[in-house]
A and B are shown apart, each in its own frame.
Chain A
Amino acid sequence: MSASLALPAPPSRRARLWRRYGLAAVGAAIVLAWVLVAILAPWLAPYPPDFVDVTNRLRPPSALHWLGTDALGRDCFSRLLFGARISLLAGISVVALGAAFGTLVGMVAAYARGLADAALMRLTDLVLCFPPIILALAIAAALGIGTTNTIIAMLVVWWPKFARLARALALVQRSQEYVEAAVVLGLKPARILGRHILPNAVGPLVVLVTLDLGNAIITFAGLSFLGLGVVPPTAEWGAMVAEGRELVEQWWVATFPGLAILTIVLGFNFLGDGVRDWLDPKARSR
Chain B
Amino acid sequence: MLRTVVTRLAGAAIMAVLATLVVFLIANTVPGDPVLAQLGDIAASNPATVAEWRAKWGLDLPLWERYLLFLRGLLQGDLGISIASQRPVLDDIAQYAPATVELATIAFLLALGTGIPLGIAAAVWHDSWVDAAARVISLIGVSSPTFWLAFVMLAIFYGGLQIAPGPGRLDPIAFPPDEVTGLFLIDSLLAGDREAFHDAAAHLVLPSIVLAAATIGLITRTTRAAMLEAMGQDYVRVSRAKGMRESYTILRHVLPNALIPVVTLGGLAYANLLAGAVMTETVFSWPGLGRYTFRSAAALDFPAIMGITLVVSITYLLVNLLVDLSYAMLDPRVGR
Interface residues in chain A, defined as those with a beta carbon under 8 Å from any beta carbon in chain B: 23, 125-127, 129-135, 137-144, 214, 218, 221-222, 225-228, 238, 241-242, 244-245, 248-249, 251, 254-255, 257-258, 261-262, 265-266, 269-270, 273, 282-283, 286
Contacts and interface: CB of A to CB of B under 8 A. Distances in A.
Nearest to A19: B127
A138 B139 contact: no
Given A144-B32, A251-B155, A286-B228, A131 B276 contact: yes
Given A134-B275, A244-B151, A257-B148, 9 more contacts: A23-B135, A125-B15, A225-B145, A227-B298, A228-B298, A242-B147, A255-B152, A258-B149, A262-B144
A226 B145 contact: no
Given A126-B18, A143-B30, A222-B279, A131 B316 contact: yes
B271 interface: yes
Interface residues of B, number: 56
A129 B317 contact: yes
Contact of A141 (B32, B140, B158, B272): B32
A133 B147 CA distance: 13
Nearest to B131: A286
Main secondary structure of the interface of B (DSSP, over half): helix
Interface of B: 15, 18-19, 22-23, 26-27, 30-32, 126-127, 135, 139-140, 142-149, 151-152, 154-155, 158-159, 225, 228, 232, 271-272, 274-276, 278-279, 282-283, 293-294, 297-298, 300, 302, 305-306, 308-309, 312-313, 316-317, 320
A286 B336 CA distance: 35
A126 B275 CA distance: 17
6 contacts: A130-B309, A134-B312, A142-B30, A143-B30, A251-B159, A258-B151
A135 B143 contact: no
A113 B224 CA distance: 35
B222 to A, nearest CB: 13
A170 to B, nearest CB: 22
B139 A273 contact: yes
Given A130-B309, A141-B297, A143-B32, A238 B278 contact: no
